[in-house]
Amino acid sequence: MRKKPWSETLIGSLPTPGEGTLAYRLRDVDVPVHAKTGTVRGTRALSGVIERPSDPDVLFSILVSNVTVGLNDARDYRDDLVRVLIDS
């Protein structure tokens, strides 16, 4: 993706922690995360890119459907997965 001429425009259009749909999410991470949330008929998503300074970027898309826990727990689970990706 980074080789495409539109990559910086795409990444720059995504909210970072403290902005938009990430207003109260992932504020504790120490690397740039650009992501967008999504909701479609009971499915929740978090998709984006983690910019790691000394390693390749990580593109991710986490979809959660048929949630049997509270929506806040499901949101926290997705955020925790992003933190795992940052540390891996």
Provide the pLDDT for residue 70: 81
- What is the rounded average pLDDT of the residues 7-35? 94
Location of structure tokens 């992501």: 35
Provide the pLDDT for residue 66: 86
Within 1-88, where are the H helices? 7-13, 71-87
C-alpha 31/C-alpha 19 separation (Å) is 15
C-alpha 13/C-alpha 34 separation (Å) is 8
Between 66 and 17, residue with greater pLDDT: 17
Closest by Cα among 28, 32, 37 to 12? 32
Which pLDDT tens digit goes with each residue over 51-75?
988 888 999 999 999 888 888 888 9
Q: Is the dihedral of CA 44, 73, 88, 12 positive or negative?
A: positive
Tell me which DSSP letter residue 14 carries.
S
Provide the pLDDT for residue 18: 92
